[in-house]
Amino acid sequence: MMSMPLPDQFTDNIRPRWHPRVKQHLVRRLYENEAQGILDEELINAVGIGLLLRCQSILKATTAHEGRATCPRCDNIIPHQWHKDEVMTCTQCGWQTTWGAYFKTYQDKQLVGGGAVFAFADYVEHYPHAQSPRERMLLIDRLLHAFHHELTQLFSRPAACNLIEGKITQVIAFLDTLTYGEQSPPEAKDEYTAWCGRAQKASWIRELLQASRQRRPNEREGD
């Protein structure tokens, strides 16, 4: 059990809340459906909205990490100086905590957007305006195949690590095994091809994919 901040560290025990990552099996079913031409609007919405809430949490945590925390009671921005014991007080509603306690609520939860903030922000901007399930599916697909743009490709990693449950290595192998078929949108197949190209550029991802592909040779036959 990890140590949790004491209730009295947050006014009225109101804590910042962060949406969890999306479950792998839902994403896998989404792609299997697409490959067979099955349109499951409910599933598209479940994954799409889950990702939307997750992206909103990532943007909020990233902003907090950069010095501007969001008050969980009234959404006002509370600036801070990254000192653990620093008391943060919302000037709008009086809610309080320390920066240390606030930080702990999102620490180690893959919530800092890093080099993929542009992809999370783009999804948050466009998803609510998508007009059809197909459009929503393409936005989901584009988001899941985005990469963190880092100065050095060595540290490059898929944005999906912030979005889908599992260890970073599991998520990368998972993305590599999503199903594409006759009925999959051509744009989705293109995204996957582009994703593989970018994945090859980071040596650690290339090696990881090689190893995981070798472990499942039979599944790839007939591709």
Binding site for Zn ion (CB under 5 A): 71, 73-74, 76, 90, 92-93, 95
Q: Which is nearer to Zn ion, 95 or 180 (CB)?
A: 95
Residue closer to Zn ion by CB (options 78, 137) is 78
Rounded CA-CA distance 163/22 in Å is: 6
**In the complex with Zn ion, which residue's Cβ is closer, 72 or 158?**
72
Q: Give me the residues paired with residue 69 across strands.
A: 78
Across 13-107, where does the E strand assignment appear? 68-70, 77-79, 87-89, 96-98
Q: Which is nearer to Zn ion, 79 or 197 (CB)?
A: 79
- Considering beta carbons, is residue 75 or 125 the nearer one to Zn ion? 75
Sign of CA dihedral 122, 127, 133, 135: negative
Under 8 Å CB-to-CB from 63, ≥6 apart: which residues? 69, 70, 77
Paired tokens of 76? 């006002």
- Dihedral sign for Cα atoms in the order 15, 166, 148, 157: positive
**Spatial separation of the C-alpha atoms in residues 175 and 141, rounded to whole Å:** 11
Each as own residue / partner, the long-range contacts of residues 214-218 (CB below 8 Å, 24 or more positions apart, any chain) are: 216/177
Q: How far is the CB of 8 from Zn ion (least distance, A)?
A: 17
Nearer to Zn ion, 43 or 93 (CB): 93
**Nearest distance in Å: CB 92, Zn ion:** 5
- Nearest distance in Å: CB 109, Zn ion: 22
Least Å distance, CB 138 to Zn ion, is 37
Minimum CB separation of residue 62 from Zn ion in Å reads 19
Q: Which residue has the tokens 């994954």?
A: 47
Shortest approach of Zn ion to residue 77 CB, angstroms?
Answer: 9
Q: How far apart are CA 26 and CA 43, in angstroms?
A: 8
**Residue number, 69 or 178, with CB nearest to Zn ion:** 69
> Smallest distance from the beta carbon of 16 to Zn ion, in angstroms?
11
Give the separation between CA 116 and CA 198, rounded to whole angstroms.
Answer: 14
